[in-house]
Amino acid sequence: MSIAIAKTPAEEVYADLDNLPDGFDDIRKQAANAVAKSGLPNRRVEEWKWTDLRRIVDQAYPPAIGGDVAAEKLDELSALSPFGNIVGSRIVFVNGVFDETRSQLPKNISISMLASADKVGFSLRDGDVIDALNLAYASDGVIINVAKGVKVEKPVELVFLTAPDQPATITTRNVIRLEEGAELTLLETHAGHNEAYVTNCVTEISIADNATLNRVRLQEDGENAIHLSNTAANLGQEANLRDFTFTIGGQTTRNQGFVTFNGENAALNMSGSYMIAGKQHADTTLVINHAVPACESRELYKCVMDENARGVFQGKVIVARDAQKTDGQQSANALLLSEGAEFDAKPELEIYADDVWCGHGATSGDLDKNQLFYLKARGIPENKAKALLIAAFAAAAFDEIENEDVREAFNELAQGWLQRREV
Amino acid sequence: MADLDTIERVKEIEVDKYKYGFETDIESDLAPKGLSEDVIRFISAKKGEPEWMLEWRLDAYRRWLTMEEPSWAKVDYPKVDFDDLYYYAAPKGFDENGPNSLDEVDPELLRTYEKLGISLKEQEILAGVRRQDEPSKLDDQGLNIPKGAVAVDAVFDSVSVVTTFKKELAKAGVIFCPISEALRDHPDLVKKYLGTVVPVSDNFYATLNSAVFSDGSFVYIPPGVRCPMELSTYFRINEKNTGQFERTLIIADKGSYVSYLEGCTAPMRDENQLHAAVVELVLLEDAEIKYSTVQNWYPGNAEGKGGIYNFVTKRADCRGDNSKVSWTQVETGSAVTWKYPSCILRGDNSSGEFYSIAVSNGRQQIDSGTKMIHLGKNTSSRIISKGISAGKSSNTYRGIVSAHRKATGARNFTQCDSLLIGDKCSAHTVPYIEAKTPTAQFEHEATTSKISDEQLFYCKARGINEEEAVALIVNGFARDVIQQLPMEFMAETQRLIGISLEGSVG
Amino acid sequence: MLEIKNLHAKVASSVEEEGTEILRGISLTVNPGEVHAIMGPNGSGKSTLSYILSGKDGYEVTEGSVTYNGEDLLDKEADERAAAGIFLAFQYPVEIPGVATMQFLKTALNSQRKARGEDELSTPDLMRLVREKSQMLKVKPEMLKRPVNVGFSGGEKKRVEILQMAVLEPTLCILDETDSGLDIDALRVVAEGVNALRSPDRAMIIITHYQRLLDYIVPDKVHVLSKGKIVNSGGKELALELEKDGYAAYEVDAA
């Protein structure tokens, strides 16, 4: 369609090149121009069919960097991280700026900050508005490099706290590189205050041969937040990526994942869970690209929607012409707890090789009546029985997380969610 | 390794084993080439239509002019030049009333149907069936129709050549005739239902069809009547550079039942030909329709030259409570297929089924599936789709299952399986699932696999040759769907799957 | 203890047509310490009776009453009935993925205790109790870590049902076709478990198609159910007669 439509206030500020931060000038301008040209996608754009970003970003959120936040507020937001006793180090960003005093940097890992880096080889992902916005406006982020063979013992936590004093877009960009045989567990907490803001966080991951990254994200952004994120990962031979996202917070969440297998016999597990209510909207959109033979991918998403919440899952698995012996399995299950809840799914397979084992499953429904009756027949009251079944449903996703302490922490968060909902 | 060789050979061998590719040498009346309001007036006049029908067509044409061809399907083909087509072709001598009896039909035409294995002579059909059956006697509806007989409406390019058993069916109150005849004899029924399931501007091809449709079948089953025989329409495209735009309308009134079969073939030609049909099914309370298709249009040659573009809109509207519709399709032909037989489950407790086998070989491209739209309470749907791709073909399942807020108790089960033969083809699955009520229980499963070397070896070790083994395994793969077919189509389908893959296995 | 009077019931559903009455006037009194067997052909309403007693949704009582220890039972939710002491051993125990059997037992027991105004049992005390009962029923400890009934064999499922019964100590046990799908060894283990639970203040209703189970769990009374009615009652010898003569006679009489 070539009909010119008036720009929304958000599109106006995003297209204003005067808003661009310093550094990375060429790529920033290129990215901002791409956004100016495409605008924000609406529901007529296939990938955004169920998440109309143009409508969701309903006011101007001028890109912002830093700004004062009361210490008590930051303490309160930091306390939302359940990983306190699990991690050995932590890197904290407040409104998109590295906060040294709240951070304890890890040893044996090369760490630098995007804001002070002079050259990082970024390139623009074609047609991806989250990536373009991020490249244009990223203010800071961490660049982690784990050297060949280094196995980082204690998990490293990244904390992103967002509380701008007026509606704004806070943008961070991280680069995680694992050299051959390296190992790292990365935990992320995203939290923010309850005023409206947009947070856009992109993480570029490259995992060299035989290296392993375990990554777990917890999204507890404020109740009026728009959370946009990208995970773009490349896997080498026999590389391993486990990536889990637990979405509880935010008004609207769009988590995108783009994973490409570049070496044979690599394995991916990309999973997650939503527990959302009110008018929350959570969307996971994945493109898993089996570009080479003999890799394995697993996706498992367990989504709980209460009240008028809406869950979206779009997962595409592409198997290239010569990617024989690919094993790709995908599963998305929704549990709808109330009349107004909704789930939309599009699990997609695009297969060009014949010797593959690929499949997907998707289900949607409410609690199983037979299970409920069985529990009640054993004397468990209805509310408790429901809570037990919902917790078990979510726990099946948490089981994909390797770290037992993290699993435990998430089960407790799920319990807390259920108690707040008085289920 | 021997088994790998088999697969290798799959890719090399020519696909040109189309058995229905002959051409009937017959003179035709053509509308002027291209599309304009005048051509539409020409078609309408040829059919002797009432004024309102002409206006309906012209309205569709004007809307069509503002529309764009859809591009979302996973198919890639040279654009159709809509000005380079004939929108009407009829064997010479067909006036608006058609032939009164078989005696008036050009013997060349009758020979065409004989070659296709379709008998249009009622007496022969009766004799043929009766030999294996009980002696003739009137059934409880007072009809002289033996079990196993099928009434046929034979559509040749833009006109219906003949419709058999019309009189016998009329005794049961069933109307089965070309839609052009229904427009003259039952205008109120047509006017009441035409375009109510697939609205005029539903999509690009449906709108085009609404403007230029020429023939197709009309069926009305009165309340409480179980149609005493299977009805069928056989579509044949013969003329060069001609599009076929048939329109089928089936109305199953309260508590009635009908089983309808549809078959299609075309000659082998180097240029692509367009087939853009619309099928509308209306089901009132407690009605049931079984609609089965064996689509075997010319698929083009191994290099992808020629073949039919099959762009079809088929939809059933379960308006009445407890109504039930079942689509079964066997798609083996056409160069490009774009087809999504759908069910609107409006009535409470209504149910829809979609059973599909889609076989693609050579350079064929299929993008097909279904839509199950749950609107009423306690509605249920079931989708079983088996896609088989071989050669350099591309085979996509695309479907929607959605339950609206008020569709409490909706149920869906979907199983989509793809089988790949050879490493130059592709298989895709694009399902959309939308659940807007917690009481909807949706279950979707999809798998992709290949014929394993072990399976092939096992068959060969039992003395079955490679080609037969592949046909056997594929038929097994598609078994759940084949079983849904009426008896008449079951054996035909199994044979057709074998033939369609013949090029692929030597 | 349990008093069923003229119980009529049908499937409650908007879809089904009216008048598919499954229970057509059942009266039965069960006193503490008694074991009653209810036998009958398929479709006689045996399982429906067990579901109505334990409070499953989807059935409508059209006439009659059921009281338990003087209180109206039909008024109560399924969990309230369980807390009141009623236990149904399911014919087809339900799989509950993600909920460990031990966690399930703890939740069930403490919910019931709470409802009865008793103190909750501590985890160590509960573990001790469950372990002790498990040994008797040959349920391996690692099974208790697995999700409820998921991946259990038929025999394992039934043994865990009886284990639950032993842990929850109900006052009325309803065993629905507990013998179905069991081989002779498994049957013996299950029967021993049930017999160990027989006591003067606990009653049992054993629902079964075959007499086989009654060789191991000897009933005080046997009732024949056919087409939704009790058509004959007697002592344990009645079960043996049925084994010999079948249900044919009753099916004709009851029509």
Q: Nearest Cβ partner of B448 from A337, A345, A358?
A: A358
Using CB atoms, which residue from B436, B441, B450 is nearest to A365? B441
Cα R_g (chain C), whole angstroms = 18
Tally C-beta pairs within 8 A across A and B: 110
Residues in chain B whose Cβ is within 8 Å of chain A? 7, 72, 405, 418, 420-423, 425-450
**Which pLDDT score is estimated for B422?**
86
| Interface residues of chain C, partner chain B, Cβ below 8 Å | 14-15
Instruction: Report whether A97 contacts A161 (CB < 8 A).
Output: no
Residue C161 phi/psi, 5° resolution? -60, -45
pLDDT at residue B136, as a whole number: 43
* Rounded mean pLDDT, C207-232: 91
Name the residue among B399, B394, B395, B427 with its Cα closest to residue B414: B399
C47 touches chain A (CB under 8 A): no
**Confidence grade of residue C252 (pLDDT, cut at 50, 70, 90):** low
Total CB pairs under 8 A between chain B and C: 3
Q: How far, in Å, CA of B143 to CA of B151, rounded?
A: 14
Answer yes or no: is pLDDT of C69 > 90.
yes
Q: Averaged over C246-252, what is the pLDDT?
A: 74
More confident residue, C115 or A275: A275
- Segment C243-255 mean pLDDT: 68
Residue A361 to residue B445, Cβ atoms within 8 A: yes
Task: Name the residue in chain C with its Cα closest to that of A395.
Answer: C98
- Which of B6, B19, B13, B78 minimizes the C-alpha distance to B299? B19
Residues 6+ apart with CB under 8 A from B438: A336, A337, A338, A339, A341, A365, A366
Distances (CA, A) of A286 to A257, A331, C60: 5, 12, 48
| A159: pLDDT strictly greater than 60 | yes
Tokens linked to C24: 């057509």
pLDDT in tens, B311-357: 999 999 999 999 999 999 999 888 999 999 999 999 999 999 999 99
Asked if the Cβ–Cβ distance from C96 to A374 is below 8 Å, we say yes
Token pair of A332 as six digits: 């998305």
Contact flag A381-C96 (C-beta cutoff 8 Å): no
Q: Are the C-beta atoms of residues B408 and B377 closer than 8 Å to each other?
A: yes
β strands within B25-68, DSSP E: 28-30
**Arithmetic mean of pLDDT, B211-228:** 92
Residue A421 Cα, gap to closest chain C Cα (Å): 20
Measure the CA–CA gap between A209 and A178, rounded to whole angstroms: 9
Q: What is the pLDDT of residues B87-107, one digit of tens each?
A: 888 877 666 566 666 677 777
Q: Determine the Cα–Cα distance for residues A171 and C4; give it in Å rounded to an integer.
A: 70
Residue B129 binned pLDDT confidence (cut-offs 50, 70, 90): very low
Which tens digits make up the pLDDT trace of A203-223?
999 999 999 999 999 999 999
With beta carbons under 8 A apart, name residues in chain B contacting C14.
378
Chain A residues in contact with C57 by the CB 8 A cut-off are 369, 373
Options 3.40.50.300, 1.10.3720.10, 3.10.520.10, 3.90.226.30; CATH for C2-254 is 3.40.50.300
Contact by Cβ (8 Å): B445, B414: yes
> Could you give phi then psi for residue C127, rounded to 5 degrees?
-60, -45
Residues of A in contact with C77 (CB under 8 A): 376, 381-382
Split at pLDDT 50, 70, 90, the class of B504 is low
Find chains touching chain B: ≥3 CB pairs under 8 Å: A, C
B410 vs B345: CA distance, rounded Å: 10
Within 10 angstroms of residue C63's Cβ, the number of other Cβ atoms is 13
Q: pLDDT category, B11, cuts 50, 70, 90? A: very low
Residue C41 clears pLDDT 90, i.e. is over it: no
Task: Report the SS3 class of residue B362.
Answer: coil
Domain coordinates in residue numbering, chain B: 2-500
Residue with tokens 């490099």: A145
The whole-angstrom separation of Cα B201 and Cα B208 is 9
Q: Give the chain A residue nearest B432 (alpha carbons).
A: A346
The confidence score (pLDDT) of residue B506 equals 38
Residues in Cβ contact with B506 at an 8 Å cutoff, skipping those fewer than 6 apart: B6, B9, B10, B13, B466, B467
- Residue B473 bridge partners (DSSP): none
Contact A392 C97 (CB under 8 A): yes
Q: Looking at the DSSP assignment, which residues form a beta bridge with residue A140?
A: A172
CB atoms B434 and A344 under 8 Å: yes
Q: What type of residue is A136?
A: A
Higher-pLDDT residue of B359 and C20 is B359
Nearest to A363 among B72, B438, B443 (CB): B443
Identify the closest residue of chain B to A356 by CA–CA distance: B449
Q: How far apart are CA A392 and CA A368, in angstroms?
A: 12
pLDDT above 70 for B125: no
Taking the CA atoms of C67, C69, C70 and C74 in sequence, report the sign of the dihedral they define.
negative
Contact by Cβ (8 Å): C182, C210: no
Q: Do the Cβ atoms of B432 and A346 come within 8 Å?
A: yes
Query: Between C35 and B468, where is the model more confident?
Result: C35
User: Between chains, do A349 and B445 touch, taking CB under 8 Å as contact?
Assistant: no
d(CA B33, CA B85): 6
* d(C-alpha B101, C-alpha B103), whole Å: 5
The first and second tokens of residue B304, run together, are: 């992808």
Strand segments (E) across B390-466: 394-403, 411-420, 426-435, 441-450
Q: What is the mean pLDDT of residues B30-41?
A: 89
- In our burial notation (b when 16+ CB lie closer than 10 A, e otherwise), range A328-341 reads bbbbbbbbbbeebb
Contact yes or no for C96 and A373 at CB 8 A: no
pLDDT in tens, A168-192: 999 999 999 999 999 999 999 999 9
Asked if A164 contacts A97 with a C-beta cutoff of 8 angstroms, the reply is no
Measured between CB atoms, which of A321, A337, A360 is closest to B446? A360
Contacts of B19 (CB under 8 A, 6+ apart): B499
Does residue C82 or residue B459 have the better pLDDT? Answer: C82
Confidence band for B12, pLDDT divided at 50, 70 and 90: very low
Residue A17's CB: how many other CB atoms inside 10 A? 11
Region B244-255: mean pLDDT is: 94
Q: Report the distance separating Cα C165 and Cα C173, nearest Å.
A: 8
Question: How many Cβ atoms from other residues are within 10 Å of residue B363's Cβ?
Answer: 22
Binned at pLDDT 50, 70 and 90, residue B2 comes out as very low
- Joined together, the tokens standing for residue B127 give 């004799």
Locate the DSSP E strands across C12-55: 21-30, 35-39
How far apart CA B322 and CA B349 sit, in angstroms, is 5
Task: Kindly report the nearest CA distance between residue B441 and chain A, in angstroms.
Answer: 5
What is the structure's pLDDT at A223? 96
Residue to substitute from C47, C50, C79, interface A, most A β-carbons within 10 A:
C79
Does the beta-carbon distance from A379 to C168 stay under 8 Å?
yes
* Interface chains of chain A (3 or more CB pairs under 8 Å): B, C
What lies within 8 Å, CB to CB, of B465 at 6+ separation is none
Residues B217-252 as b/e (b if ≥16 CB within 10 A, e otherwise) read: bbbbbbeebebbbbbbbbbbbbbebbbbbbbbbbbb
Query: Look-up: residue for tokens 């002070």?
Result: A116
The most distant pair of C-alpha atoms in chain C lies apart, rounded to whole Å, by 56
In this prediction, residue B10 carries a pLDDT of: 35
Percent of chain A past pLDDT 90, that is, above it, reads 89
The chain B residue lying nearest C15, using CA atoms, is B349
* C186 or A410, higher pLDDT: A410
Contacts of A337 in chain B (CB under 8 A): 438
Give the integer Cα–Cα distance in Å for A134 and B214.
56
What ipTM did this prediction achieve? 0.89
Interstrand relation of B324-331 and B288-295 (parallel, antiparallel or unpaired): parallel
Whether residue A65 contacts residue A15, with contact meaning beta carbons closer than 8 Å, is answered with no
**Which of the pair, B250 or B490, is modelled with greater confidence?**
B250
C81: chain A residues, CB-CB within 8 Å: 377
Interchain CB distance below 8 Å, C111 and A373: no
At residue B158, the 3 state secondary structure works out as coil
Q: How confident is the model over C75-95, as a mean pLDDT? A: 90
Q: What is the mean pLDDT of chain A?
A: 94
Segment B73-80 mean pLDDT: 88
Q: Is residue B489 pLDDT above 80, yes or no? A: no
Nearest C-alpha of chain A: how many angstroms from C44? Answer: 22
- pLDDT for the residue C43: 85
Please list every residue in chain A whose beta carbon sits closer than 8 Å to the beta carbon of residue B449.
356-357
Alpha helix (H) residue ranges in A310-360: none
Q: Is C57 on the interface with A (CB under 8 A)?
A: yes
| Biggest distance spanned by C-alpha atoms of chain A | 67
**C-alpha to C-alpha distances, B465 to B7, B477, B479, B502, nearest whole angstrom:** 13, 18, 20, 12
Kind of pairing between the strands at C59-68 and C71-72: antiparallel
Contacts of C15 in chain B (CB under 8 A): 349, 378
pLDDT-derived band at B230 (thresholds 50, 70, 90) equals confident
Question: Quick one: average pLDDT of B481-495?
Answer: 80
E-strand ranges in A28-168 read 89-94, 97-98, 110-113, 142-146, 156-162
Confidence of residue B131 (pLDDT cuts 50, 70, 90): very low
Would you say residue B16 has pLDDT above 70? no
pLDDT, one tens digit per residue, over B186-205 is 999 999 999 999 999 999 99
Give me the pLDDT at residue A87, please. 94
Select the residue of A380, A391, A396 nearest C108 (Cβ to Cβ): A380
Burial group, residue A211, by CB count within 10 angstroms (0-12, 13-18, 19+): buried
C93 touches chain A (CB under 8 A): yes
**A152, A184 Cβ separation under 8 angstroms:** yes
Min Cα–Cα distance to chain C from B431, Å = 27
The DSSP line for B80-134 is: P-GGGSBS-EEETT--TT--SSGGGS-HHHHHHHHHTT----HHHHHHHHHHHSP
- What is the nearest CA distance from B411 to chain A, expressed in angstroms? 9
Q: Is the predicted pLDDT of residue B30 greater than 90, yes or no?
A: no
Element (H, E) at C156: helix C154-168
**Cβ count within 10 A of residue B136:** 11
CA distance A221 to A217: 12
Q: What is the mean pLDDT of residues B34-62?
A: 92
pLDDT for residue B97 = 60
Interface of A with C in 343-402 (CB under 8 A): 368-371, 373-382, 384-385, 388-389, 391-393, 395-396
Residues of A in contact with C111 (CB under 8 A): 378-381, 384
Q: Taking CB atoms and an 8 Å cutoff, what residues of chain C touch A371?
A: 94-96
For testing the chain A interface, which of B433, B439, B441, B456 should be mutated: the one with the most A CBs within 10 Å? B433
State chain C's mean pLDDT as an integer. 88
Which neighbouring-strand residues pair with B86?
B242
Chains with ≥3 CB–CB distances under 8 Å to C: A, B
Q: Which of A338, A361, A364 sits opposite B440 (nearest CB)?
A: A364
Beta strand residue intervals within B139-216, DSSP E? 150-156, 159-163, 175-178
* Number of cross-chain residue pairs from A and C with Cβ atoms under 8 Å apart: 83
